[in-house]
Amino acid sequence: MSLPARYGAAVLSSPPSSLPSSLARLTSTVPVAPPHDTLVAAFEAAGGRSDPFVSLHSGKNPEARTRGAALDGAWRWASLLHSRGVARGDRVPILLPTGTAFIEALLGSMLAGAVPVPLAMPMTFGSIDRYLRNLAAIVEDSGSRLAIASPRLRDGAAKDDDLRRLLRDVLVETDLGPSTASPSVSVSSSDPAFLQYTSGTTGHPKGAIISHGALVANAFAIAHGLAIGPSDVGVSWLPLFHDMGLIGVLLTAICHPYPLHLISPESFVMSPRKWLDLIGKTQGTLCAAPNFAYDLAVARGGDAAGLALGSLRVTLNGAEPVHAATVARFVQKFAPAGYRSDAMMPVYGLAENTLAVAFPSLSSKLDVLEVDRESLEQRGRIVVTDGAMRVTAISVGGPVAGTTIEIVRVTGALAEEREVGEVLVSSPSLMTGYFRNDEASLEALAGGKLHTGDLGFVDGGRLFITGRAKELVIKGGKNIYPYDVERIAGEVDGVRQGSVAAFGRANGDTGTDDLVVIVETVHGDGARREGIAKAVRGELLASLGVKADDVRVCGVGAIPRTTSGKIRRRACADLFPKE
C-alpha cells in the first residue's frame, strides 16, 4: 500500500536505468563530538542542575525528579552497593519496573563502578517460574553475584535453586540508607557502561557490551539527528530496560538534557489513550515507538476529540518494520487533533550498535519507494515500478553521525545501488562484543564491521530495510519475507491489527518450506474464524502469488512477543508445530 500525497510521502518511480550504477555504501560526514567522555561524567555534570529531569505519571500526581535529586538518589544506590562489597566491573542485574527507582539504581550502579544489566520484568501476575528460569540463564552468563530487584522478584529468587546458587544478595529499595557520596569510581570511555541482553533471550543469552564511549557517541548521533534542544519535551511509554527506551529516551536525555514524561508499558498497553493524552498535557515534542504501537493507538486510543498532538515535531517509528498502512491510519485518525504527517520518522537501529544506525533528515522524514516484488524476492537488483506487482519500501534515511553503512552480497563483495544484501555497520557506537562469547563476537564483528543479519538496499543516499536474512521463508525456490505476509494478512477484516506472525516450517516431503501464518482475532465463533482463515489465504495468493500451507486463527494473546512488544517468530514456530 502506498501513501497518498496528503500523507507527505514522496513516491519515487524512476526506472533503474535512469540512475548511474554505484556501490551501496553510505557514510555520514558529521563528526562525533559528545560533550562528555562517559555517561557518569554527563550525569554528574547535569546533576548540578535543578531543572526537571523525569516525571513518572502513574497516579493522580506525577512522581518528579530534578536532575539534582536524581543524582542524590543514584548516590544512595551507589553507597548501598559499596557497602555490600560490589567492586569495579561487577555486573549488577536491574530488575525493577519503569520508575525513578529503576533510573537511580541503574545510574547508581555506574557511579559505583559496576556494570548494570537492565532486564525485563515478568509481564503477568501469575506464575513467574518460567521467567525465573530465563533469568537464571542470564545471571549465570553475566557472572553476576548481586542483583537489584522488586520485593516480589527477591522472594521468587529466594525460592529458586539456581538463583540461590548464583546470587549471594538481592537488594530492594527498602534497603537504601542515606547517601555517603564520595567521588565516583573513575571510568574511561573504553570501560563497559552496561550489558544489553536481547529481548526474549532464553537458553543461550548474548549480552552486548556497550562501552561508555559507544554510549555517548550514539547519544550524540541521536541528539544531532533530531536536533534536540532544551526546549524539547519527551513523552514515552517504552520499557527502560530495552535499547529504544534506555538509550533513545533516558540516557540521551542525560547526555543532552531535556525533560522526560513517562508512563509504564503496562499503562500504555491497557490504555493507549494515556500516552496520547500525556503528549497534549505536557506539550510533548518527541516520542518514539515500534510500528505496532501506532496501530494500537488507532485501534484502542479513542477518537481525536479532546487530544492535542500539534506540539509533536518528531514521532520515531522503529524497532520493527514500518508499515505504510499503519502510518496512513495514524495520520488520518489523529490529524483532527493537530498531528502533522511530516512528524512521522521511520528509523533503524539495533542493540549491537548501542541503538541508532540510520535516521531520515528532518526535512524529509517519510519517503517511500514502489518496487517490483519479484526483484525484491530474488534478492537481486531492485526494480522501481508503478506496476501491479509492487510492494512499498519505506526509507529509514541515511547513516547517523560517524556511521558508515554498506550492503554486501552473499560473497562478501560490496553490492551496487538497488541491490538487496546484508546490512553492515561501522561506527564509534559498536558494541565491544558479546560478554564471554568470543565466537559470537568474532562472527558479528568480522572485519571490524557489525554484520547485522538484516537485509536491505540503498537508493539515492537512503537505506531501505527489507527483512531478516535468517527469517526468510524459501518456498519452492522463492524468497518470501515474513513482513510482507504479516502486512497483507493484517489487512484482512477480522484480524487484530499488529497481531500476525509468519514463519517457515521445513517440509521433508516436499523438500521446501511450508508457509505458516498465525493471526489473532477477537471473534470466538468457529465459522467466523474459518472465514478469516479463508480470506487470509485468498489475500496472500492474490497479492503475493503464494499459497499459505497452514493458517491458524487464534484468540488475543496467542502470539508470543518480546518484552518490548515485537513478535517472536521462532517462539511462535515452537508453539504452533505441525498438526
Q: pLDDT tens digits for 274-324?
A: 999 999 999 999 999 988 889 889 989 999 999 999 999 999 998 877 878
pTM: 0.82
**Residue range 173-199: average pLDDT?**
83
Secondary structure class of 229 (helix, strand, coil): coil
One-character DSSP codes across 104-165:
HHHHHHHHTT-EEEE-PPPSSSS--HHHHHHHHHHHHHHT-SEEEE-HHHHHHHHT-HHHHH
| Centroid of chain to Cα 359 | 14
Q: What is the mean pLDDT of residues 393-410?
A: 95
Q: How far apart are CA 576 and CA 579, in angstroms?
A: 8
Residues 6+ apart with CB under 8 A from 165: none
- Rounded average pLDDT over 461-468: 88
| SS3 (DSSP) at 375 | helix
pLDDT digits (tens, 9 = 90+) for 88-130: 999 999 999 999 999 999 999 999 999 999 998 886 555 677 7
**Listed range (212-221, 229-238, 280-289, 498-507) with the worst mean pLDDT:** 498-507
Q: What is the pLDDT of residues 319-374, one digit of tens each?
A: 877 878 888 889 999 999 999 989 999 999 999 999 999 999 998 888 888 887 77
pLDDT classification of 6: cutoffs 50, 70, 90: very low
Count Cβ atoms below 10 Å from residue 304 Cβ, excluding itself. Answer: 17
**pLDDT for the residue 21:** 53
Nearest to 315 by CA among 347, 342, 354, 344: 344
Is the four-CA dihedral 553, 554, 557, 558 of positive or negative sign?
Answer: negative
> What is the pLDDT at residue 571?
85
Phi, psi of 195 (to 5 degrees): -105, 130
Cα–Cα distance, 214 to 165 (Å, whole number): 33
Predicted local confidence at residue 564, as pLDDT:
63
Query: What's the confidence (pLDDT) of residue 568?
Result: 84
pLDDT of residue 565: 72
Q: pLDDT (tens digit, 9 = 90+) per residue, 124-159?
A: 555 677 788 878 989 999 999 999 999 999 999 999
